[in-house]
Structure 1
Amino acid sequence: MGRRTFVVAAVVVALVAVGAVVVVRSRGATDVLHTETGARRPNVLVIMTDDQTLESVRVMDNVKSRLMGEGTTFSSAYVSFPNCCPSRATYLTGQYAHNTGVKDNVPPLGGYTKLRADDTVALALQRSGYYTAHVGKYLNGWGSNGDITAPPGWDHWYGLIDPTTYRYFDYAVSDDGVRVDFGSDDGDYQTDVLGAEVVETIRAAPADKPWFVSFTPLAPHSEQLEGAANDAGTTTTTAPGAAEEFRWAAPKPAPRHQQQLAAKFPRGASFNNLGTGKPEAIASKPELTEGFQRL
């Protein structure tokens, strides 16, 4: 990576939601890091995908050759709370959900407002002399109250602003506290914008400090749509304890990839058939919407 050897690239692949591969304990971490000032401290890049299956990595040749092939693959991984915000809070703090206070994705039990923002890995590393940067999604609800200043501990912040986080187009980010709105042009595709930003962030990092960069794009999570109507190709969910109904559609690929996976698997007479002969547990379920069929 030029000025300083790039030592660690951690890829976080989510099975149910997200899980953290690199976790640094915040309490006491500063003292531990300061004892190693004589050693060359590594740069750390965490790439956290959202709702990605482990099986999908099997066909991702670039990921396998450039990250897995040149890095370390762990044979085992453990997650204490396999859900979006609780796992992200654990990644940021190194603590279990009963200590982070984040026990759900939305209030009253979870979301960004429950996170103790003054007790995170970013603060611990910043205090130890690291340059810290975040690019992408944080916890659900961040920025929805109008406050888009960076949480404590981040030298550079390029965070997705709720409620636009779950959109691949027509979303907004906070660039160190300044709102930037993106539209629907091909160049506004969220994953590309965030990818370009994280590359520039690493290139612009101070030469005299090690850096810690957290890169958390939305992809390949499903897309949240505006409006309450359940149009064809979408599905609706209501989070526990939340009055708002969310409308979801299959994730959007980049425009340049739109037709690369346009083929459908063969669908015989049994596909989406809830008729006679099915067990009650199957027959009682609604048919798959077009949106779910595309997932």
Structure 2
Amino acid sequence: MQAVRSLFFSLFLALSFTITARAQEKPNIVVILSDDHAYQAISAYNNALMQTPNIDRIARDGVLFKKAYVTNSICGPSRAVLLTGKYSHKNGYKDNANSHFDAGQDSFAKKLQAAGYQTAWIGKYHLGKELQGFDYWQILPGQGHYFNPDFLYMDGSRKRVEGYVSDVIEDAAEDWLDSRDQEKPFCLVIGHKATHRTWMPDTADLGKFDEVITIPPRNFYDSYDNREAAMVQDMTISKTMRLDYDLKMYPEDSKDGNIVRMNPAQRAAYKAYYQPIRKALEEAGLSGRALTNWKYQRYMRDYLSTAVSLDRNIGRTIDYLEEHGLWENTLVIYMSDQGFFLGEHGWFDKRFMYEESFRTPLLMHYPGVIEPGSISEDFVMNLDIAPTLLDAAGLPVPASMQGRSLLPLLQGKEKGREAMYYHYYENGEHAVSPHFGIRTERYKLIRFYKRVNSWELYDLEKDPREMDNLYGRKGYEKRTASLKKQLASLIKEYEDKEALLIFNRPVRDQPGN
């Protein structure tokens, strides 16, 4: 009998090992998605502003994409593209103001779930309250808050969780990882709120950059000559950025929602830090460029301090994977939902097809597939994330997905894009005119419409800061015609019917002209 029991136990262990091994033939997946995190503020890309040692760990152990871009530089639409692998005109979520995300459409989450993956989205989602394809979700309502954030749960409840949002999201992610089915591969999306406006640092990080003077970008005082869309925008540090809402220069009795929701200790820390700064500002009586420069320094100190907690919690994610023996079998992606202006052109925010907004950080760790310390100079897009995850899981990529897996590119089996297509739709906040365009290795051609009807052309080799609009200038006729032909080809390839109608109509015939 003892021999039978021993044999049964041995068979049981062997079977358990086989089930676990089969599950782990497929890699686990962790996608860390931040908000408005500029590549300029990541030390793997640029050592000038701050150090991000934990994000840099992903680059050290994997690949750093130096030319990663988005299809539509705004929060909700970018997430819709990530999920579906389709451009905004195909997934239906074009802007934050008027769009509704159809959660019933296909997504990488649904495909992975159907293939046996346990799936979860925790943190910022920003595509409504209906999630499909996830076994578990815990999301911020809308933008969420930095302190003591509310969360929406699968059972329909809404609960407030004490703490700082980056910590709370990471805590929830680790709780889910602890409770998951250990015999299934998993796909976890961690959606961070940081570094979204209004850039509220954790109390532990207040003052981290107070001794740092950030040199403004060379085009900080851009006059927007020959660039009408840039001229009519409303996103400048000098005029748009608010002393109270953005820079926390609140009166002591402020009833602002971001402050009121703080607990006494959090509020006391903020008061102790910001009130002396506010008093010094009032005494200085600054105006004109002196005030603008002061606002820029405060913006950068708050933004970078907020990024510190983001990087710290990304480090916690990596530590968890290492400590639980998951790091070597997990595909880890870090990216932002788009880029962000850190004073370039005198701006904050995003939206434009100019580089600082259009381009996004993207780093990927995938042991056995990606050589540690790799650098990619190929054009890649957030459109490519969904196909990449399915490819890594050994699943077919649906024909409806317009992106392409990055794995063959990283393995040297395919060549990268020759050009990228972009389309921004929102015609509201910050007065940024809708536009679409193409970027090649050297040139960028943009067609603005609705608010402003115009074309812009840039030679990025000679003019990387995009200050000199060459459209219509003598000597660029052939280049312009070639780029227009290439743009029309991409519009047709991606089946953007609205853009094609605008493209085929002369600027002078557009509404408003």
TM-score, with length taken from structure 2:
0.37
| Alignment of structure 1 residues 105-144 onto 2, 5 Å | 105-107=96-98, 110=99, 113-140=100-127, 142-143=128-129
| Corresponding residue to 1:95 among 86, 101, 110 | 86
Quick one: which amino acid aligns to residue 105 of structure 1? N
**Shift in Å, 1:75:** 4.0
Quick one: which amino acid aligns to residue 138 of structure 1? Y
- Which residue number corresponds to residue 254 of structure 1? 202
Quick one: which amino acid aligns to residue 89 of structure 2? H
- Which residue number corresponds to residue 135 of structure 2? 155
State the identity as a percent: 25
In structure 2, the CA distance between the partners of 1:92 and 1:266, relative to structure 1 (3 Å rule), is closer
Determine whether 1:201 maps to 2:172: no
- Which residue number corresponds to residue 348 of structure 2? none
Q: Distance in 1 between matches of 2:215 and 2:192?
A: 33
**Shift in Å, 1:179:** 2.6
- Which residue number corresponds to residue 14 of structure 1? none
- Which residue number corresponds to residue 40 of structure 1? 25
**Shift in Å, 1:202:** 1.9
Q: Distance in 2 between matches of 1:42 and 1:279?
A: 48
Query: How many residue pairs align between the two structures?
Result: 208
Q: Which has the larger radius of gyration?
A: 2
Cα pair 2:148 2:160 within 8 Å, conserved:
yes
Q: Distance in 1 between matches of 2:192 and 2:39?
A: 17
Q: Which runs of 4+ in 1 moved over 4 A?
A: 278-282
Quick one: which amino acid aligns to residue 168 of structure 1? Y
**Shift in Å, 1:38:** 9.2
Determine whether 1:190 maps to 2:148: no
Cα pair 2:103 2:132 within 8 Å, conserved:
no
In structure 2, the CA distance between the partners of 1:151 and 1:261, relative to structure 1 (3 Å rule), is same
Cα pair 1:92 1:122 within 8 Å, conserved:
yes
Q: Distance in 2 between matches of 1:50 and 1:157?
A: 18
| Corresponding residue to 1:265 among 213, 231, 234 | 213
Cα pair 1:46 1:213 within 8 Å, conserved:
yes
**Shift in Å, 1:253:** 0.9
Cα shift readout 1:189-211 (whole Å, capped 9, x = no counterpart): 11110011112222322111110
Cα pair 2:113 2:119 within 8 Å, conserved:
yes
| Corresponding residue to 2:150 among 155, 172, 187 | 172
Q: Distance in 2 between matches of 1:260 and 1:208?
A: 43
Quick one: which amino acid aligns to residue 202 of structure 1? L
Choose between structure 1 and 2: higher helix proportion.
2
Q: Secondary structure at the match of 1:221?
A: coil
Aligned-residue CA RMSD in angstroms?
A: 3.1
**Shift in Å, 1:263:** 4.0
**Gap regions ≥5 residues in structure 1:** 1-36, 144-149, 223-249
| Corresponding residue to 2:73 among 74, 82, 98 | 82
In structure 2, the CA distance between the partners of 1:289 and 1:174, relative to structure 1 (3 Å rule), is closer
When structure 1 is superposed on structure 2, of 116-125 and 203-212 the one drifting more is 116-125
In structure 2, the CA distance between the partners of 1:157 and 1:279, relative to structure 1 (3 Å rule), is closer
Q: Distance in 1 between matches of 2:139 and 2:157?
A: 10
In structure 2, the CA distance between the partners of 1:203 and 1:39, relative to structure 1 (3 Å rule), is closer
In structure 2, the CA distance between the partners of 1:153 and 1:279, relative to structure 1 (3 Å rule), is closer
Q: Distance in 2 between matches of 1:194 and 1:132?
A: 16
**Shift in Å, 1:266:** 7.9
Q: Which has the higher contact order (CA 8 A, sep 6+)?
A: 2
Cα shift readout 1:33-80 (whole Å, capped 9, x = no counterpart): xxxx89810000000010000011112012212x22222223432322
TM-score, with length taken from structure 1:
0.62
- Which residue number corresponds to residue 41 of structure 2? 56
